[in-house]
Structure 1
């Protein structure tokens, strides 16, 4: 009995003061009633039956205050935050379909893990094809996910003459390997802007994949929503055929020209785009939206379950337990697309970085930026708070890539990179060849 009282006492004092007061009042009501009724006969022969309720240790947290939003709460939909323009509406960007060019330091498991692919799928694919451990820079992976974040179909383009297909079956995955005689040829396409970039590019003969690659390559240098008639692009692509059939095209380099300046993006051997001097085209991202890393009070978990109801209640970000008034920083250069109040998220901000990335910051006290404002990496955007549906001071921080929430602590984010040494020399040789092609027009 003493052990039970001690456990209850510890649990009681873990509650916030308000909850302790409320619980004390509720417990005192029956006692007051019994004292007010002295004629109530509770003799020794009276039997009082009570059914004990057992709560598992890992369920206790469900009854205690948390430094995050309620477990069944949902944050505002990203569809409401993302700018809707011609690029979003005219170019399909299904969150279930992804592709990745292998870069230096990439591994098969880490590439797929950041998109929350089922770990069992990753293990099965590596088990049936041990070569997955030996990805090479420049190879391409593309895959399609189902609603359960399971891989339905994956393609590994190992070279111009070999492609491997992995299809889900009831027993696991089936592998098919296609070999053939491949041919390569280069093509220069000139796109002159006339009203809409998308329509101008399509009119010039580019397909949706090629248009997306151009946007991705130049997303950090120009705003595709603010082009002018007469601006033009010179685009160098490499086309591949296999057994006589066209397979795909890769963007090698692009030059954008307007009345005041030319912009370049040229693909290096590592699959990334750099300028003519080998400098990266992004300013890089910080990992945390604060000056230092604070305690994570609630981790990223897209499959989080309510321990009571058993329903899926995804937590699409990371909660950092911070004191109210802690400076909140933008993790990268971008444009503020939301700065407002929500019943659930409280004061919150959404920032778009290029065309692929978006970050969101919730439960803030004070907002320092407005919608449409440009911000720099490390710039103050707000002070942390406890607004909206929150039971403790914290920052709820989300990172989205291609309209899909990823783990902010593990996702591969753009870095401030530049080529050096032998890699730079090889790249500069490639630059000369690409520029020669681009300036032919």
Structure 2
């Protein structure tokens, strides 16, 4: 009998997902009918019989739902966005840009970059159809884009070089129109100095930086510095390259920054690949693990910004990935960071939110036990919780999310920071440039 059961289970698991859903649904209906008792089989008063029938159907349906292939998927993912439950570092953080920015890294393609942010392949193909050069992105180039009210790609900007930018705008035919822009200004290096008084963002803007330039400085130093712990009088020196056209500053690029806090100097310098490194050419970003568990588990529900919930029948974004795993499985922090939230979140059950630097956040939901507290510093690989089935969940699983710049991305495909550094000729050229830049970053 056991051998027959194993054979049936193996055959069921080998079926395509749509077939498993249909077969599972038919099983539930069959079993529900089997346990149902029509009124004329009971020797009771009609009023009592009706109540019994209703209670039997509800109880058995809830119990049998866990037999479906979607048993490990949440009923409702109406959990708050990170900006709702995680406090900002400084007051100026409330000015969140409406566009998303990305610097092209080695191995990136237009499809791999936009797909991790949930942008439809149809829109990506429409972009390439408007400009086939988009197939040839180079390391260090910048992309920025915005979405319309329906969550579709509305516009994209491709900064090919300091001088050339191509802008793509959605048209009435759901295609994209490309408009080139070539700047012919004069680039000049500028050093701006100052001291912290109030928030860091307000202090550097008072020294002469624009809000965008201030944001670039914060991102360059985010892995070394907790900006909430800066003290009045801490000094900074910032090296910018700005393009001037007809007496106006058109665009700029952060080349290097020096920040002195608590008697210690912190540096970040830009390399040709668009990333920031320390004075020796070592990467500043802390490496991330791809999975929040010791081993990889089956994905029961993937990332989908326009997911049709199989239980509620409503279209709602599934902002993370569900891993089907037993209750009590250790859940690990995927990167160094700080615990911002550790509590019961209603539909999310027991959940944890971690902040990694300034751009990255991860969230872990439906946990059975929390092992960390808000404000606690954690390292990559630390055990932070045990998995469970709390909140609105139909089966044991871990719901895992990754957010970059307050935008949910696919945890399985997102380009996450890696421990890296320069080597060979790239490092030699970088160090030669850094020697010049560092000599300019003096402090008053």
| Cα distance in 2, alignment partners of residues 168 and 390 from structure 1 | 39
Of 61, 68, 74, 2:73 maps to 68
Q: Counterpart of 1:317?
A: 320
- Output aligned runs, 1:420-435, within 5 Å: 420-435=423-438
Contact 1:76–1:344 under 8 Å retained in 2: no
The alignment covers a number of residue pairs equal to 405
CA displacement at 1:163 relative to structure 2: 1.9
Contact 1:218–1:265 under 8 Å retained in 2: yes
| Cα distance in 1, alignment partners of residues 126 and 305 from structure 2 | 21
SS of equivalent to 2:365: strand
Contact 2:118–2:304 under 8 Å retained in 1: no
Contact 2:341–2:374 under 8 Å retained in 1: yes
Instruction: Kindly indicate whether residue 248 of structure 2 is the aligned counterpart of residue 239 of structure 1.
Output: no
| Cα distance in 2, alignment partners of residues 61 and 154 from structure 1 | 43
Of 382, 387, 391, 1:388 maps to 391
Contact 2:333–2:380 under 8 Å retained in 1: yes
- Range that drifts further, 220-229 or 255-264: 255-264
SS of equivalent to 2:254: strand
Instruction: Kindly indicate whether residue 82 of structure 2 is the aligned counterpart of residue 78 of structure 1.
Output: yes
| Cα distance in 2, alignment partners of residues 238 and 154 from structure 1 | 24
- Range that drifts further, 351-360 or 300-309: 300-309
Q: Over residues 123-145 of structure 1, what are the superposed CA-to-partner deviations in whole Å (9 max), with x where a residue is unaligned?
A: 11111211111222222222221
Change over 3 Å in CA distance of 1:440–1:74 after alignment to 2? closer
Q: Counterpart of 1:438?
A: 441
Change over 3 Å in CA distance of 1:221–1:301 after alignment to 2? same
Contact 1:118–1:149 under 8 Å retained in 2: no
Q: Counterpart of 1:353?
A: 356
SS of equivalent to 2:111: helix
SS of equivalent to 1:313: strand
Of 301, 326, 346, 1:298 maps to 301
Q: Over residues 73-99 of structure 1, what are the superposed CA-to-partner deviations in whole Å (9 max), with x where a residue is unaligned?
A: 422332332223425x455213x4112
Q: Counterpart of 2:152?
A: 150
Q: Which runs of 5+ in 1 are unaligned?
A: 1-6, 38-59
Contact 2:323–2:397 under 8 Å retained in 1: yes
Change over 3 Å in CA distance of 1:424–1:307 after alignment to 2? same
Instruction: Kindly indicate whether residue 263 of structure 2 is the aligned counterpart of residue 254 of structure 1.
Output: no
Contact 2:25–2:68 under 8 Å retained in 1: no
CA displacement at 1:61 relative to structure 2: 10
CA displacement at 1:397 relative to structure 2: 0.5
Contact 2:339–2:355 under 8 Å retained in 1: yes
- Range that drifts further, 111-120 or 285-294: 111-120
- Range that drifts further, 363-372 or 76-85: 76-85
SS of equivalent to 1:105: coil
Contact 2:337–2:377 under 8 Å retained in 1: yes
CA displacement at 1:330 relative to structure 2: 0.3
- Range that drifts further, 399-408 or 159-168: 159-168
CA displacement at 1:331 relative to structure 2: 0.2
Change over 3 Å in CA distance of 1:85–1:278 after alignment to 2? closer
Q: Counterpart of 2:62?
A: none
Of 414, 418, 422, 2:421 maps to 418
Q: Counterpart of 1:265?
A: 268
TM-score (norm 2): 0.84
Q: Which has the higher helix share?
A: 2
Change over 3 Å in CA distance of 1:167–1:389 after alignment to 2? same
Contact 1:102–1:136 under 8 Å retained in 2: yes
Q: Counterpart of 2:4?
A: none
SS of equivalent to 2:307: coil
Change over 3 Å in CA distance of 1:322–1:183 after alignment to 2? same
Q: Over residues 417-437 of structure 1, what are the superposed CA-to-partner deviations in whole Å (9 max), with x where a residue is unaligned?
A: 111112111211121121122
TM-score (norm 1): 0.85
| Cα distance in 2, alignment partners of residues 11 and 309 from structure 1 | 16
Q: CA RMSD in A?
A: 2.8
Q: Counterpart of 2:108?
A: 106
